[in-house]
Amino acid sequence: MAEETVDVLIIGSGHSGGMAAKILTEKGISSLMLNAGPVADVHKDTEVKPVYALPFRGFKNPGILPHVFQSDEFNANTWVDEKENPYTYDPQHPYNWVRVRLFGGRSLFWSRQSFRLSDYELKGKSHDGYGDDWPIALADLAPYYSRVEAIFRVSGHADGLPQYPDGNFVPDDSPWSGCMQRFVAAGKGMGVPVCKPRSSLGVDGLASSVNLLLPDAVATGKLRAIPNVVVRELSVDKNTGLVNEAHFVDRLSRREMSVKARVVVLAAGTLESTRLLLNSKLANSSGVMGHYLIDQIYGAGIACSVPEARDGKGAPDLMGGGGLVPRFRNIDTKAKDFIRGYALNLYSNPHGMDPRHFAAYGEELQTKLDSYHGSGFSAGIMGEVLARYENHVSIDKTVVDAWDIPALHVETKYTDNEFNMARDAVDTAVAMAEAAGFEVLTKNYDPNPPGYSIHELGTCRMGDDPKTSVLNKWNQSHDIKNLFVVDGSAFVSGGWQNPTMTILSLAMRSSEYLAEQMRQGNV
Amino acid sequence: MRRRDFVKGILAASASARALAAQQVAPAAPLTPPAAPHTLPPATPVAAGPTPWMQGLMEVKPLELSTLVPDAVAQTDAHFFNPQQTATLERLCALLMPALKGYPGALEAGAPEFLDFLIGVSPRDRKQMYQTGLDWLDEESRHKFLVVFAKTTDLQADALIRPWLRPWMTDHPPTERRARFINLVHTDIRTATTNSQAWSEVAQAAGRTSAGLDLYWYPVDPDIHRATRAQMQSQGQGQPALGQVGRDQNAPRKRGI
């Protein structure tokens, strides 16, 4: 029987767990990583296939992954099967919980959009009076953002906008395509900034924990890892009150095991980390654990055509490229029926059009598809969802997963602030597109269900007051000083920005703090 | 290499054990002649035993066999829709996705038969949407033109279909019941057609060599209890309604993370 006590136990292997492993092991701290899923090997686990050779001709196995709109039959086996790992919600208020348990987690599959939060988000209450400020400001995070951006090789252009903070970029000085120039000009006329997108180039196209973070940890010789173990519960030493053990179950054999640790770093992803703590009945003296679940509005947007690009005239200097309208509402002026703001993702599509954008069929539709080929332009919202106490998760004692671990119940819904924001985003996009001379083919005001963005945040929010927050500003539990939660659950507000860079920066900052506290003997 | 030797050793040990066990029931070995003096004793004869089942698999090379998908040579036995619904679906297929520019239409691509299979194994709400939608279309046709939908002219069929056509965006099909049916079935028919082997062959011949190709993920170290668990949980548990389930090659890849 092994009776080892590991120095740091890291639960989760995605961006946050990978960053924790990299920082801690590079500081000389031995770490053990537990991951709920297997290590994927693209050479062994994949094959290039024609869609007609798939069992369901590209439709997916019906009824499987009903909440993973991002899935298709090619990638269906990479997502968490929700029959195996269920969650519950009120049918009137569905929630899309999109999960990956492969080693590397969701860092294997993400859009690469790489943004900093601004003080309009980190100090949102100070700006508009709603919610709570974070206990940290952009100035606290900026040095970490810079280091993360260097690791992930973030491509971007410095725009000098306070709501779209510049970073440590691989410079993007590429010219706008013609249609984007027209959209930029339309924005200028309406006081709406249109900027270059910012995204992680990574290495060889991959910007994941498995290629940018974990290899550095492995190289130290200080990281060990166990795949295929699902953590059931954490327990504390009754004398010290410190967390000292993780109980887990082997995913395949169902063998129950446990491991002792001096420090636990939770990085299982926002809702899995919170689920584990709620099931463990730990670190919740504030009573706010599980509350203030946040995500971002996606799905509302428009699809257009650039008339001059039709009938084979969509040359590369006219079509192609993307852009980003950063938040512009509620900065210097006040929107009439919502607070906070949204961004618009812009894409110019030099390829085929989506047939669903036309109310036609048969030969008439084909004629349109041929004519409109290469003329597509779309805009989609990324909007802030307000942090609300009532949007929360709890343990559903009536449902367990395949390992008999109680499942999560999600209660969240959008309100008028989100719906009004989505309507404003679509109306603004339509006005800009029409000003640019584009034909608007279709538009949609309805956001996708909460969770769709895969940017679930909050539920273990950080704060200075232990009575109103779960973690302190170092992602350390107020209640249990050797427990750190370094994933997105620490967020106080979400903003419109893809949170990956912020999660990574917080994990880096927290892990360096932890290493120093361990060195000083405080943890 | 070291692992292979180790496995061989395991296999060999296993074979010896089975051979020993087999000696108890195997016929007696033939008598051997008496050993000549001053010679080493002969090796103990080994009784014939069962061949280790996995023998030789470590060294075998992958079979070079060109395999087919069933659609290449076989027909789907359609049985979900009733004959009237099938006829209506076939008429819809012919109308909405005819053969064009050398590419097969929905009928040539076997879309009606494939959709019969697909919808037949789909969640209840999707089955109902198709069945009630096809029945409604047929009733409308009888009411307006006094013929079943399957027998409508293109003009008549267009009069029934066109009022319900809507442009829409991914994940957000029309919410009105009739429009939802017409637009979703249209998308399904297109997807079943453009994702067919018949379509792929024409695309390949036209030089679109990567059309419909993508990286398929096999289950990664699948849970050995998964099937049982899923079966248990699916009993009596319906799936939520979804806007669409197909992979449309023309649609942009969804994003979110």
Do the beta carbons of residue A243 and residue A264 sit within 8 Å? yes
pLDDT at A222: 98
pLDDT for res B42? 64
Nearest to A385 by CA among A428, A410, A420, A345: A420
The yes-or-no verdict on residue B20 having pLDDT over 70 is no
Give me A444's structure tokens: 């949609």
**Is residue B197 predicted with pLDDT exceeding 80?**
yes
B242 and A46: CB-CB below 8 Å?
Answer: no
The HSE-up count of residue A452 (CA atoms within 13 Å, CB side) is 24
- The interface predicted TM-score (ipTM) is 0.94
CA dist B49 and A151 (Å) reads 61
Test the A interface: residue of B76, B117, B170, B257 with most A CBs within 10 Å: B257
* Mean pLDDT of the B191-212 span: 94
Residue B33 has pLDDT above 50, yes or no: no
Average of per-residue pLDDT values in chain A: 97
Residue with tokens 């990638």: A75
Q: What is the pLDDT of residue B223?
A: 85
Residue B160, pLDDT > 90, answer yes
pLDDT at A409: 98
Which comes out higher in pLDDT, residue A60 or A296? A296
**B241 has a pLDDT exceeding 70:** no
What are the phi and psi torsion angles at A233 (to 5°)? -165, 150
3-state secondary structure of A471: strand
- The pLDDT value recorded for residue B251 is 46
Do A406 and A86 contact (CB within 8 A), yes or no? no
Which pLDDT belongs to residue B233? 53
CA distance B193 to B244: 16
Q: Does B10 have pLDDT greater than 60?
A: no
pLDDT at B6 over 50: no
Between CA A319 and CA A377 the distance in angstroms is 9
Q: Between these two residues, B49 and A275, which has the higher pLDDT value?
A: A275
Measured distance CA(A494)–CA(A129) in Å, rounded: 16
With both helix axes pointing from N to C terminus, report the angle between B154-161 and B124-145 in degrees, rounded to the nearest 10. Answer: 120
Q: Which of B102, B64, B72 is nearest to B208 (CA)?
A: B102
What's the CA gap between A509 and A514, in Å, rounded? 9
In the predicted structure, residue A227 carries a pLDDT above the cut 70: yes
Q: Find chain A residues with C-beta within 8 A of B209's C-beta.
A: none
- Cα B179 to Cα B185: distance, rounded to the nearest angstrom: 10
Of B100, B165, B255, the CB nearest to A111: B255
- Written as six digits, the tokens of A25 are 């092991």
Judged against a pLDDT cut of 80, whether residue A2 lies above it is answered with no
pLDDT in tens, A415-447: 999 999 999 999 999 999 999 999 999 999 999
Interface list for B 31-60 with A (CB within 8 A): none
pLDDT at residue number B56 = 86
Tell me the longest C-alpha to C-alpha distance in chain B: 109
* Helix B177-194 vs helix B111-120: crossing angle, to nearest 10: 120
Judge whether B165 and A355 are in contact, CB under 8 Å: no
Return the pLDDT at B254. 38
B112-156 tens-digit pLDDT:
999 999 999 999 999 999 999 999 999 999 999 999 999 999 999
- Evaluate if residue B240 carries a pLDDT over 50: no
Average pLDDT for residues A98-106, to the nearest whole number? Answer: 97
Averaged pLDDT for residues A171-183:
97
State the angle between helix axes of B83-96 and B154-161 in degrees (0 to 180), rounded to the nearest 10.
Answer: 90
A294 vs A63, which has greater pLDDT? A294
- The backbone region for A30, taken as left when phi is positive above 0, alpha when psi lies in -120 to 50, beta otherwise, is beta
- What's the CA gap between B249 and A57, in Å, rounded? 11
Chain B: residue whose CA lies nearest to A376: B252
**For the ranges A140-144, A293-297, B20-24, which has the lowest average pLDDT?**
B20-24
Residue percentage of chain A with pLDDT more than 70: 100
Tell me the per-residue pLDDT of A305-353, one tens digit each, with 9 for 90 and over: 999 999 999 998 999 999 999 999 999 999 999 999 999 999 999 999 9
Q: Which helix (H) or strand (E) holds A349?
A: strand A342-349
Task: State how far the Cα of B195 lies from the Cα of B116, in Å rounded to an integer.
Answer: 16
User: What share of chain B in percent tops pLDDT 70?
Assistant: 70
Contacts of A442 in chain B (CB under 8 A): 167-169
pLDDT confidence tier of residue A1, bands split at 50, 70 and 90: low
Does the pLDDT value for residue B49 go beyond 50?
yes
Tokens representing A222 are: 């200080």
Residue B225 has pLDDT above 90, yes or no: no
Per-residue 3-state assignment (H helix, E strand, C coil) for A396-444:
EEEEECCCCCEEEEEECCCCHHHHHHHHHHHHHHHHHHHHCCCEEEEEE
Of A72, A402, A441, the CB nearest to B167: A441
pLDDT of residue B64: 85
B52–chain A nearest CA distance, Å: 27
Q: Which of A48, A72, A366 is the closest to B100 by Cβ?
A: A366
Q: What is the pLDDT of residue A500?
A: 98
Higher pLDDT, A163 or A63: A163
